[in-house]
Amino acid sequence: MNNGKSVSDTPSSKTGSHPLMVMGQITGAHGLEGNIKVRSFAQSQDFFAPGSRVFVSSQTPSDAQPFVVKSCVPYKKGLLMRLSGVEDRDTADALIGKQLRVQRSRLPAPEKNAWYWEDLYGLTVTDQVLGDIGTIDTLFSTGAHDILVVKNNGTEMLIPMHRQFVMSVDIENGVVVTRLPEGYE
């Protein structure tokens, strides 16, 4: 467990996965006493139980700062949370837009044929016919399935993360193999 004083910026594998995983986004402040509103990506609120350690960062984990959760309750479509050291509205406002991270070691291993989105960022996408397509820049969910956003030289291709299109994912070697229909762009 991290001692709360620093976070290693060293990825945990050659694919660039980091020991801190994004589990939420701070979307607003609430009240005058430092409460923050959080859009949670976690399947369970237990990741944010009082006393648990979380990290707040910008878009990269390198600037992650440790906090201890003082309280966390469901609120509208997200969570209402208090963090140690965030005691007023101004401090809470300064956190809006930041990511909420937890240590990877607190997460269960992904099931077979499932991956954490963070582990897919930066992987090379190679099509069985077209060859190299680009790298995964981000992902988003449509509800039916996730979509890979693959970028290459200023162009962007959206590929459904579905077994019809994605043949294999090799995290260790940093490659996703696809088989796209003829004319797919």
Q: How far apart are CA 62 and CA 58, in angstroms?
A: 9
pTM of the model: 0.70
Q: pLDDT per residue over 102-131, tens digit each?
A: 998 888 888 888 888 888 989 999 999 999
What rounded mean pLDDT belongs to the chain? 87
CATH code of the region 20-105: 2.40.30.60
On the question of a common fold for 20-105 and 117-178, the answer reads: no
* Choices 2.30.30.240, 3.20.20.70, 3.60.10.10, 1.10.357.10: CATH for 117-178: 2.30.30.240
Average pLDDT of the segment spanning 24-44: 93
Beta pairing partners, 74 = 79
Q: Where are the domains of the chain?
A: 20-105, 117-178
**In contact, 180 and 130? CB cutoff 8 Å:** yes
Would you say 25 and 100 are in contact if contact means Cβ atoms under 8 Å apart? yes
- Residue 17: the pLDDT is 58
Beta strands 131-141; 20-30: pairing state: unpaired
Q: pLDDT at residue 4 above 50?
A: no
Q: What are phi and psi of 70, to 5 degrees?
A: -90, -40
Q: How far is CA 15 from CA 135, 141, 144, in A?
A: 12, 22, 27
Closest CA to 121 of 10, 29, 7, 18: 18
Helix (H, G, I), strand (E, B) or coil at 106: helix
